[in-house]
Every structure is written in structure tokens, then in C-alpha cells.
């Protein structure tokens, strides 16, 4: 007899993720997911051995490695120095917003978008102050940039990583760039147009100040450069190998761990960096794997999803965008991707799943964890974005982006 308790636990987790408050307590997403995993373990809905094997070591290793590299780039001041040189050239509000969208967008394809949410928030607030531009406009530009830009890479965000690893994709870097690179660049341009229309009064200002030069740790900066070079080099090796042999030469977890090794082995700040990485996200993923495995074992979710929907690109895009608002995009992909793969869906459908679940973060604040990170960090500095301020831009933008990806995937597929 099928037990529906894991489904009830999952529903409770989704509800708490949506409201994130119980009485006086403000709950974090990782705490909610951990509570769900503990609940199914304690009630015997999943055995300890199944729970252990449900945790994907490839994903955990990849995230750990990328978090180490990202933290080192922040701590060394390397990314701040890059941003200083980059944004010093922006002389008009149009240019500032374009630089944020395309600079942060492209960078998010190389580093996890959550990492850039942490790095980028104080950067854009500093730009808003020095350039006399609305902080809300630049916070929106940042959120949209790192969400949209991360679509075109298997390492841009956690849900893309799940799609790349769990689908058995032979060449994820090449596949994501070929299928999603051009429409993502188009969507970044569309984002500029929407922001310019919604905040048109802000684009008439030209009162600029100087951006202060950030302090840097030269030794850690050198190691950060080496780590970034390793990521780029191994990604290039994989692309070349996939063109010649049809498969990757170096796995994604090995790329991340290889990039983290110079910092772990040679930095005198290694302990500080490892302590400062986003351990909460790692706990979130481990707990999510356990809870989703218990739900999967019930067979209920599989029986509710029709095969026709799994083969339809517009249906996948729409479902991904909508459901991700309620359960967040990473848990959605963890549940949905096995169904898409089992249904025999092709690359176009997997790319629709990745794109839809990612740009869901542009619709509302709850669509992506990176949005929450940006707003929480902004509030520490006295700025914020309300739910409706975000949706005012997010609704038309997401509709336009869905149309772009839909049209492109239909043509390419």
C-alpha cells in the first residue's frame, strides 16, 4: 500500500518555502528542506541507506568546489577589481544597466548565480549611489542579469547542473551554448528594453561620481585567477573533446574540484575561505535529494504527469515557470527531470526544462533563491524591492523571454 506521507511532507515544505514565516520565526529555505528530510527519515518513509545513496556526490562536489572558487574571488577583491575597471567606462544610465545585464549575465554562466548575488548586491548599490541612479532599478538589473545569463551554461545555476548531470548529457557545455546561448543574449537585450521602458525617467540622468578603488589581496587574487583559468581551460577542453569524440574529457565535479585545489593547497586563508562558503546551500541540496527520493518512491508524482506534456516545449516552459514560483526551481527540476528523461524526451525538451525553470526567477522574488539573497543583502544596507515592484517588471519580461526561448527551441529542435 502506497504511503502518501512523503507527499504531505513535500506539500508542507512547499507551503513553508512560499511563506517562510511561522509566528515570530523567519525560516530559511535550507532549514525548511532539512526539516522535510528529517521528517521522512524519522517516520520511516525512506531508509537511512536509501537516503544516503540519494545524495548525489557529483552535485555536492561540484557545488563545494565552485563555492570555494567564488568565495576566494570575493575575499581577494578580484571580482570587485574587475567590476571597478568594467563599470568605470559606463558614462550614462543606459550603459550602466547594459553593463550590469551583460557583464553579470555572462559572468553568471561561469560562476553560480547565487555567488554573484552575494558579490553583486553591494556593487550595484555602490553604483546607484555614485551614479545617482535608482537602487531599485539596478537591483532589478542585477537579479535579471544573473538569472537570465545563467541559462546558457550547465554550471550557471544548480538546476542546470542537475539537468546536465542526471540526463547523461555527453557534452553539457557545448549543448547549453548551442541550444541556449543566442536566445539568452537576446533575452538580456530584451531585459534592457523592458527596464528602460519601466524606469524611463531614470535613463535621463547624467550626474556621475567616481567609483572607489577596492582593496585587494594580491596573493589570493593570483590564486583566484589561476582557479578561474582552470575552469575556462577545462571547459574549453571538454568542448573540443565533445566535438572530436562526442563526450566530455573531464567531468563537471572534477572541473570544480580542480579549480578549488590551488586555493585549498596554497592559500594561507584556506580555513577562512572554507568556513565562509555557502554551507547552507550544501545542506539544502543533501536534504532535497533525500526528500525527493522518498517522494519518488511513492510513484504518485509519476502517475500525475502525462507523457504528452513532457514532449511539449511550450508546456514544459510554462509548467517550469509557474510551478517554480511555489516550490522553487531546484526542487522542481529534481522532481521533474527524471520524468522528462524516462519519457524519452530529447535535448530540446531538456533545454526547455532548464530554461523555463531558470527564467522562472524573473517572474517573482520567490522564483529563485538568488532573488532572495539580493533582497536580504540589500536590506542590510537600507534598500529593498517589494514583491509587486519585482512583479511589475517580471511579468512582462518573463512572458517575452518564454516566447524567445519557445521560438528558438522549436526552430533549432
Q: What is the pTM of this model?
A: 0.78
Cβ-contact 201, 57 below 8 angstroms: no
Residue 174: band (very low, low, confident or very high) from pLDDT cuts 50, 70, 90: confident
What CA–CA distance (Å, rounded) separates 47 from 68?
A: 32
pLDDT at 149 over 90: yes
Q: What is the pLDDT of residue 16?
A: 82
> Which range has highest mean pLDDT (54-58, 112-116, 223-227)?
223-227
Closest CA to 295 of 343, 260, 339: 339
Q: Span 180-191, mean pLDDT?
A: 97
Of residues 271 and 309, the one with the higher pLDDT is 271
pLDDT at 178 over 80: yes
| Average pLDDT of the residues of the chain | 85
Q: Which residues contact 202 (CB under 8 A, 6 or more apart)?
A: 93, 133, 134, 137
pLDDT at 19 over 70: yes
Q: Span 261-284, mean pLDDT?
A: 91
Q: Span 2-23, mean pLDDT?
A: 77
Closest CA to 116 of 161, 84, 159, 69: 69
Cβ-contact 289, 322 below 8 angstroms: no
Of residues 119 and 103, the one with the higher pLDDT is 103
Give the lowest-confidence range in 16-20, 158-162, 186-190: 16-20
| β 25-26/21-22 pair status | antiparallel
Of residues 374 and 190, the one with the higher pLDDT is 190
Q: Which residues contact 169 (CB under 8 A, 6 or more apart)?
A: 154, 163, 175, 347, 350
Closest CA to 135 of 367, 365, 371, 378: 378
Closest CA to 97 of 52, 63, 131: 131
The single-letter DSSP state of residue 203 is G
pLDDT at 71 over 80: yes
Q: What is the pLDDT of residue 251?
A: 82
φ, ψ for residue 26, nearest 5 deg? -95, 115
Amino acid at each position: 500500500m502506497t504511503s502518501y506521507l512523503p507527499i504531505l511532507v513535500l506539500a508542507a515544505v512547499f507551503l513553508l518555502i512560499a511563506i517562510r514565516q511561522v509566528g515570530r520565526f523567519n525560516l530559511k529555505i535550507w532549514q525548511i528542506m532539512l526539516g522535510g528530510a528529517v521528517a521522512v527519515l524519522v517516520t520511516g518513509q525512506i531508509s537511512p541507506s536509501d537516503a544516503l545513496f540519494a545524495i548525489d556526490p557529483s552535485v555536492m562536489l561540484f557545488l563545494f568546489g565552485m563555492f570555494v572558487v567564488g568565495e576566494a574571488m570575493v575575499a581577494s577583491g578580484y571580482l570587485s577589481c574587475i567590476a571597478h575597471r568594467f563599470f568605470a567606462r559606463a558614462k550614462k544610465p543606459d550603459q550602466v544597466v547594459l553593463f550590469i545585464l551583460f557583464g553579470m549575465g555572462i559572468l553568471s554562466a561561469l560562476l553560480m548565480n547565487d555567488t554573484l548575488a552575494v558579490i553583486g548586491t553591494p556593487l550595484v548599490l555602490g553604483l546607484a549611489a555614485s551614479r545617482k541612479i535608482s537602487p531599485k532599478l539596478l537591483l532589478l538589473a542585477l537579479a535579471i542579469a544573473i538569472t537570465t545569463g545563467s541559462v546558457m551554461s550547465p554550471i550557471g545555476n544548480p538546476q542546470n547542473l542537475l539537468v546536465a548531470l542526471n540526463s547523461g548529457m555527453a557534452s553539457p557545455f557545448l549543448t547549453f551554448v548551442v541550444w541556449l546561448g543566442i536566445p539568452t543574449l537576446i533575452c538580456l537585450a530584451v531585459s534592457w528594453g523592458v527596464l528602460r521602458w519601466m524606469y524611463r525617467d531614470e535613463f535621463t540622468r547624467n550626474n556621475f561620481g567616481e567609483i572607489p578603488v577596492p582593496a585587494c589581496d594580491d596573493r589570493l587574487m593570483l590564486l583566484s585567477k589561476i582557479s578561474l583559468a582552470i575552469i575556462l581551460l577545462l571547459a574549453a577542453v571538454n568542448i573540443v573533446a565533445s566535438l572530436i569524440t562526442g563526450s566530455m574529457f573531464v567531468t563537471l565535479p572534477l572541473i570544480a574540484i580542480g579549480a578549488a585545489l590551488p586555493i585549498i593547497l596554497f592559500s594561507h586563508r584556506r580555513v577562512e575561505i572554507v568556513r565562509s562558503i555557502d554551507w547552507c546551500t550544501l545542506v539544502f541540496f543533501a536534504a532535497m535529494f533525500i526528500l525527493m527520493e522518498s517522494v519518488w518512491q511513492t510513484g504518485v508524482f509519476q502517475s500525475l504527469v502525462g507523457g504528452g506534456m513532457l514532449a511539449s516545449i511550450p508546456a514544459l516552459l510554462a509548467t517550469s515557470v509557474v510551478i517554480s514560483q511555489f516550490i522553487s526551481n531546484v526542487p522542481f527540476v529534481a522532481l521533474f527531470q527524471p520524468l522528462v528523461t524516462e519519457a524519452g524526451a530529447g535535448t530540446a525538451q531538456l533545454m526547455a526544462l532548464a530554461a523555463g525553470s531558470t527564467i522562472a526567477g524573473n517572474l517573482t522574488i520567490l522564483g529563485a533563491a538568488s532573488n532572495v539573497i539580493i533582497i536580504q543583502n540589500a536590506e542590510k544596507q537600507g534598500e529593498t524591492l517589494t514583491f509587486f515592484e519585482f512583479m511589475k517588471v517580471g511579468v512582462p519580461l518573463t512572458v517575452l523571454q518564454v516566447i524567445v526561448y519557445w521560438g528558438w527551441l522549436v526552430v533549432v529542435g
